[in-house]
Amino acid sequence: MSKVAVLGAGSWGTALAMVLCDNHHNVRLWTHNPDQKKAMELERKNKKYLPDIELPTSLAIYDDLSQAIEQVEAIVLVVPTKAIREICQKLNHVLDHKVVIIHGSKGIEPDSHYRISQMIKEELSQSLYDDVVALSGPSHAEEVSVKHPTTLTAASENGELAAFTQDLFINQYFRVYTSKDIIGVELGGALKNIIALGAGISDGLGYGDNAKAALITRGLAEISRLATIKGANPLTFIGLSGVGDLIVTCTSAHSRNWRAGNMLGKGIPLHEILSKMGMIVEGIRTTEAVYQLAKKENIEMPITTGIYDVIYEIRSPKEVVDDLMTRNRTNEVDDISSLLLNRYMD
Ligand SMILES: NC(=O)C1=CN([C@@H]2O[C@H](COP(=O)(O)OP(=O)(O)OC[C@H]3O[C@@H](n4cnc5c(N)ncnc54)[C@H](OP(=O)(O)O)[C@@H]3O)[C@@H](O)[C@H]2O)C=CC1
Ligand SMILES: O=C(CO)COP(=O)(O)O
């Protein structure tokens, strides 16, 4: 049994904390909102993020960060990407021992183009951890919280820490694999949110399964093209954090990214969508980040560019679809195979 703190009491932080409780760990869920802490303790529910779910009696709720992390062996960061740096800075002030750092967030930071583990490594004092583990895969909080079978990958360059994370979380309904390809796992988890926005837009426009299958597969080609250039193992993208997470987010109404895209496709303005959602839609910032990165490194990403243009009202969804369908004719796999060939000839 381990003592673990989960930082971030939104839908995913709460669902992950519940898995850890099921595995009989000593679990502390931290929220930055004192009112939410009081309500969760009183009602034993997280009314805003998982309204129908009863919280386990063993789950301890904290709003004081230093108390939440006292003597814990592992810290699971599950806040939106834009809050990762702030949390690490806070941890530098209150953490007084070495821990295993695991994160469950999915995003890329605009301007730096950093993945989550890169942001953590830049902010968190090196003496507090050995390496970072990313826990990622096709996993809607709503389904995990009712114990539906779910599979994920714990990725770290440090194999021992990935195995520790697998051991911490794995159970009968939550199967965890390990991987050393943290670059691929983080990029797959973050970039699928862009394609999920696109799948939502396509559905919102009234297009059917052919269009969505095209977005998923050509989206996967885009994701693996960028990720392979950034050092990922291309095989990761036929796994849980590639095609797996794309399927779950592009085809489910649980997905906030799909829902936001669906409303964009129906012509609802972005500011209205975001105020309606009340939850994080990571794909918006990640689209900005990846659009910048692709431009800087001259990587062809027509779907991402199209979604960026829809978000920032540069082109209408219909114009983007027309442009994607009438781009220069090209081969389906040649660009990726030549990338791989270059990699292995080096
Ligand atoms: N939901 C899911 O099924 C999955 C989500 N993820 C990823 O997990 C991450 C978190 O998502 P999720 O839980 O769904 O998001 P939610 O929108 O459900 O919740 C976000 C939580 O983070 C809190 N928060 C926001 N800013 C801060 C801050 N500066 N300091 C501390 N807490 C903060 C929010 O608090 P407040 O209520 O006060 O705003 C809220 O509790 C995202 O990167 C997402 O992509 C990954 C897999 C599955
Ligand atoms: O990452 C997720 C499922 O794997 C959740 O996706 P959304 O953030 O779009 O809800």
Q: Is the CB of 139 under 6 A from ligand 2?
A: yes
pLDDT at 341 over 70: no
d(CA 35, CA 289): 33
CB atoms within 10 A of CB 92: 13
Mean pLDDT of 187-199: 98
Question: What is the per-residue pLDDT for 208?
Answer: 97
Which tens digit of pLDDT belongs to each residue from 138-176? Answer: 999 999 999 999 999 999 999 999 999 999 999 999 999
| Tokens coding 29 | 């869920």
Question: What is the per-residue pLDDT for 346?
Answer: 54
Question: What is the per-residue pLDDT for 68?
Answer: 98
Mean pLDDT of 181-205: 98
Q: Is the CB of 301 under 6 A from ligand 1?
A: no
Confidence of residue 269 (pLDDT cuts 50, 70, 90): very high
Question: What is the per-residue pLDDT for 339?
Answer: 64
Instruction: Exactly one of 192, 212, 295, 296 is catalytic; name it.
Output: 192
192 is catalytic: yes
Question: What is the per-residue pLDDT for 22?
Answer: 98
CB 130 within 8 Å of CB 102 = no
d(CA 36, CA 183): 34
Q: Whose CA is nearest to atom 6 of ligand 2?
A: 255
Q: Is the CB of 78 under 6 A from ligand 1?
A: yes
pLDDT at 101 over 60: yes
Question: What is the per-residue pLDDT for 333?
Answer: 80
Q: Which residues are annotated as a binding site for substrate?
A: 106, 256-257
Q: Which fold has domain 190-345?
A: N-(1-d-carboxylethyl)-l-norvaline Dehydrogenase; domain 2 (1.10.1040)
User: β-strands 3-7, 74-77: how paired?
Assistant: parallel
Q: Whose CA is nearest to atom 7 of ligand 2?
A: 255
ipTM over 0.95: yes
Q: Whose CA is nearest to atom 8 of ligand 2?
A: 256
Distance from residue 139's CA to the centre of ligand 2 (Å): 7
Mean pLDDT of 214-238: 96
Distance from residue 336's CA to the centre of ligand 1 (Å): 34
Q: What percent of the chain has pLDDT over 90?
A: 94
pLDDT at 337 over 80: no
pLDDT at 72 over 80: yes
CB 315 within 8 Å of CB 323 = yes
pLDDT at 345 over 60: no
- Backbone φ and ψ for 294, nearest 5 degrees, come out as -65, -40
d(CA 103, CA 211): 33
Question: What is the per-residue pLDDT for 334?
Answer: 63
The type of residue at 170 is I
pLDDT at 335 over 80: no
Q: Which of 10-24, 276-290, 303-317, 322-336 has the lowest mean pLDDT?
A: 322-336
Which tens digit of pLDDT belongs to each residue from 304-313? Answer: 999 999 999 9
Nearest alpha carbon to residue 166 among 98, 314, 158, 194:
158
Nearest-atom number in ligand 1 for the CA of 107 is 43
What are the Cα distances from residue 12, in Å, to 16, 136, 215? 6, 11, 26
Q: Which residues are annotated as a binding site?
A: 8-13, 32, 49, 106, 137, 139, 141, 192, 245, 255-257, 280, 282
Nearest-atom number in ligand 2 for the CA of 196 is 9
- Backbone φ and ψ for 302, nearest 5 degrees, come out as -65, -35
Mean pLDDT of 13-37: 98
d(CA 96, CA 85): 18
pLDDT at 342 over 70: no
Q: What is the residue whose two structure tokens read 């095609």? A: 243
pLDDT at 44 over 80: yes
Question: What is the per-residue pLDDT for 129?
Answer: 98
Q: Is the CB of 89 under 6 A from ligand 1?
A: no
Rg from Cα positions in the chain: 20
Distance from residue 257's CA to the centre of ligand 2 (Å): 7
CB 185 within 8 Å of CB 136 = yes
Mean pLDDT of 285-289: 98
Instruction: For the chain, give every residue range classified as CATH 3.40.50.720.
Output: 3-180
Instruction: For the chain, give every residue range classified as CATH 1.10.1040.10.
Output: 190-345
Q: Is the CB of 106 under 6 A from ligand 2?
A: yes
Q: Which fold has domain 3-180?
A: Rossmann fold (3.40.50)
pLDDT at 6 over 80: yes
Query: Dihedral of CA 107/129/9/25: which sign?
Result: positive
Distance from residue 13's CA to the centre of ligand 1 (Å): 7
The type of residue at 303 is I
d(CA 313, CA 268): 12
Put residue 177 in one of left, alpha, beta given phi > 0 → left and psi -120 to 50 → alpha.
beta
Q: Is the CB of 257 under 6 A from ligand 2?
A: yes
Q: Is the CB of 145 under 6 A from ligand 1?
A: no
Pocket test for ligand 2, best of 152, 216, 248 (most atoms within 8 A of CB): 248
d(CA 296, CA 103): 28
Nearest-atom number in ligand 2 for the CA of 257 is 9
Nearest alpha carbon to residue 119 among 127, 184, 110:
110
- Backbone φ and ψ for 201, nearest 5 degrees, come out as -60, -45
pLDDT at 344 over 60: no
Cα-Cα-Cα-Cα dihedral of 88, 93, 94, 98, to 10°? Answer: 70
Which tens digit of pLDDT belongs to each residue from 231-253? Answer: 999 999 999 999 999 999 999 99
Q: ∠261-262-264 over CA atoms, to 5°? A: 60
| Tokens coding 156 | 């770290």
Question: What is the per-residue pLDDT for 340?
Answer: 64
Supply the DSSP string of 189-206, one letter for each residue: HHHHHHHHHHHHHHHHTT
Average pLDDT, the chain: 96
